Amino acid sequence: MQEMQKIEDQTAGPKTGLWGWMDRRTGVDALLRSALYEPIPGGARFAYVFGSGLLFIFISQVITGIFLALYYVPSADHAHTTVAYITKAVTAGSFLRSLHAYGASAMVIVLLLHLSQTYIYAAYKGPREILWVSGCVLFALVLGMAFTGYLLPWDQRAYFATAVGTNAASEVPLIGETLKRFMRGGTEMGTLTISRFFVAHVFFIPACIFALVASHISLFRKAGAAGPPDEDPYEPKKKTELFYPRQVLMDLSLTALLIVGLGSLCFFAPMQLGPAANPADAQYIPRPEWYYLPIFQWLKYWHGAASVVGILLIPMVLVLGIVALPFFDRSIERRPWKRPIAMGAYGFVSLALLGLGLRSQYLDNHDPGVAQQLAKQKAEEQEYMRKPFETELSSATLAAANVALADPEGAKGKEIFESLSCNACHGDGGVGTAAAPALVGIKAKHSPDQVAALFKHPTAKMTAGGMPPIDLPPDDLKALIAYVESLK
Amino acid sequence: MCAVNSEGLTSKSTTAEPSRQNRRSFLGALLAVGSAVVGALLSVPLVRFALFPLIRQTTDTKKSPVGSVSEFASLAEPAMRTIQIEQIDGWRKTVSEKAVYITKDRRDQLCVLSSICPHLGCTVPWNKEKKQFICPCHGGTFSVDGSRVSGPSQRGMDTLETSVEDGKLLVRFEYFRQLVSDKEVVG
């Protein structure tokens, strides 16, 4: 303790000048000191860099996500077009989208490393139980972000992977079907699914992550760093070091590695976008992102009555076991080599996940039919990426013209509409002008018979506005009414 | 993040170990500058992404084909054509139809008139008998080249920008403010 006091005295300086004024107004100096002069028992280590690495990626995901929302539209009609626009048309769009998509994978990798370090160092043990639990919830939330974000581009890969993912939810006994419908916003995947996933991805889960990251850091500072596992728990012998400068430099080296690694990946091998989702494509073979492959493979082994065990019971026991770990693993021992059960379980679960993932990959590669289809899907993606961006034709504007073209009676009606100069006052396509009201949507207000009656005998108000009675042969009148009723 | 924060260390002066403190101050300044530079570099793609609509044109009205020039060579009176107007609006495009008149101006050159009355926006038909454009709404009349003859309109019918490509007459459709004497593009 005396040593700590000495270090703190050394680092405290007089607060003069602009910085001093700023500190007196905001307390920023004290805040920085508490952040930078956090004591690290046993000294700085590279093993501790993953937490701040995660924070860095999370901030990067938030920033790139906000910017992507400048152009993205969450609806089944426009999602794919807007992502294609971002990828193919907008300056730096492909780079930012890649940064966001690869950032998700990077987050899962660093998260696994952070979790492993905590587990191997037994840093989850008391008094850090709640810290561990909040970390577990954050892990689930990050996986939730990855799952919900994956659908948003609405290309073939996204659509079918999420169809499988949400389908898996229906395997849950009793509530499965309800759960699936809740996730999809209906029995099938559609525009409501995008809305739901978008809201979860952009509002709900990030809000939870912000709150939990704050509590995670605050709980960490309250309990303090656990220090190396081989330290004597009763009489610590290793020197305590402050967070700044050595640990800061170590943390920054991971940040630099992430920037360079992700930056080069996004620049040289940008994220692909496949053709727009086509739910009718019965041949498409969906594959999830690499971090979901073990679960994907695991689900293949369980069918029928046994699925309760494989899909519900075993994962639940595993998850509960991990979350509740600090509550039953209560010994003071933290050295990995003295915790054979804990380390054995860690090795077993890690190998099982790795094995399942590799098995899935192996099966895909060794089934000629599957391998061929997967290669075809990849080729389709590459071909789509080579095509220039195509603007989406807005459906509403051409509706009237299309109806007129598709229906001969409507087409004839359109000619009559123009030859009688109806468009002079009611506007082209019946959009309305200062002289006369719009005819668009008239179908909802008047039936064809009512329209015919109004044409023959305009009301006093219509006559006052300059509407003449229309006297046409029955066929022509019918065509004109068909056209007017078709206006949207 | 932390490196930017380390600026706070640079103001320290009185300590028991001046040389160590100087090294720390130098490192703090170096990290602060380094982070600022890296941060600025990282924000380049973000700025370019957000400023895309300033760098490139994201909204545009494409020129619409009206017909071949030869078709209008021996024009006796204004001919009405419905053109398709393709408007680019970011990632979407809208296609609408508008009626225009192909006629000849005073120097006997082809010109294209918008059929929208500059008074209140009714569609103006050509009256064959009177050889004038007569607006059915408020009776404004315009001569064969679109110039104002009489009525409430404060200017003649609006001419549209045209060009000829491969013998085809193209026109850029635009909307103009109504009820004013000068042609002023809107939307």
User: Domains of chain B: which residue ranges?
Assistant: 2-53, 59-186
> Which of A89, A391, A424 is the closest to B93 by Cβ?
A391
Distances (CA, A) of B179 to A183, A215, A434, B154, B156: 55, 63, 12, 6, 11
Q: Which residues of A touch B42 (CB under 8 A)?
A: 259
Rounded Cα–Cα distance for residues A2 and A9 (Å)? 11
Check B6 against A435: CB less than 8 A apart.
no
- The beta-strand segments (E) located in A252-401 are 392-393
Q: Which residues of B touch A427 (CB under 8 A)?
A: 121, 123
| Domain B59-186 CATH class label | mainly beta
Interface of B with A in 91-150 (CB under 8 A): 91-99, 120-125, 135-138
Q: Where are the alpha helices (DSSP H) in B51-111?
A: 52-55
Residue B5 touches chain A, beta carbons under 8 Å: yes
φ, ψ for residue A299, nearest 5 deg: -65, -25
**pLDDT at B5 (0 to 100):** 40
Check A96 against B49: CB less than 8 A apart.
yes
Rounded Cα–Cα distance for residues A261 and A330 (Å)? 39
> Which of B2, B28, B136 is the closest to A421 by Cβ?
B136
Report the DSSP pairing between strands B126-127 and B92-104: unpaired
**pLDDT at A5 (0 to 100):** 52
Distance between A453 CA and the closest CA of chain B, angstroms: 23
Distance between A427 CA and the closest CA of chain B, angstroms: 7
Test mutation, B31, B122, B126, B153, chain A, max A CBs within 10 A: B122
Rounded Cα–Cα distance for residues A466 and A422 (Å)? 11
Check B136 against A466: CB less than 8 A apart.
yes
Q: Can you give the C-alpha Rg of chain A in angstroms?
A: 32
Residue B29 touches chain A, beta carbons under 8 Å: no
> Which of B93, B98, B120 is the closest to A394 by Cβ?
B93
- Token digits for A18? 């602009």
Test mutation, B85, B91, B137, chain A, max A CBs within 10 A: B91
> Which of B8, B38, B124 is the closest to A259 by Cβ?
B38
pTM of the complete model:
0.83
**Nearest Cα residue in chain A from B59:** A391
Q: What stretches in chain B show pLDDT beneath 50? A: 1-15
Test mutation, A52, A252, A405, A419, chain B, max B CBs within 10 A: A252
Q: Name residue A40's beta-bridge partners.
A: A241
Rounded Cα–Cα distance for residues A347 and A424 (Å)? 80
Q: Which domains does chain A have, with CATH numbers?
A: 1-36 (no CATH), 38-386 (1.20.810.10), 396-486 (1.10.760)
Test mutation, A391, A402, A483, chain B, max B CBs within 10 A: A391
Helix (H, G, I), strand (E, B) or coil at A312: helix
Residue B4 touches chain A, beta carbons under 8 Å: no
Check A394 against B92: CB less than 8 A apart.
yes
ipTM metric: 0.83
Q: Which residues of B touch A63 (CB under 8 A)?
A: 46
Residues whose CB falls within 8 Å of the CB of residue B186, separated by 6 or more in sequence, listed in order = B175, B176, B177
**pLDDT at B14 (0 to 100):** 43
> Which of B14, B52, B55 is the closest to A14 by Cβ?
B14
Distances (CA, A) of A253 to A39, A45, A46, A261: 20, 12, 9, 12
Q: Which residues of B touch A14 (CB under 8 A)?
A: 12-14
Q: Which residues of A touch B90 (CB under 8 A)?
A: 71, 85
| Maximum C-alpha span of chain B | 106
Burial (0-12, 13-18, 19+ Cβ within 10 Å), B98: buried
Which strand ranges, in their side-by-side order, compose the sheet holding B141-142?
B126-127, B132-134, B141-142, B148-150
Q: What stretches in chain A show pLDDT beneath 70? A: 1-14, 396-406
Interface of A with B in 43-72 (CB under 8 A): 52, 55-56, 59, 63-64, 67, 70-71
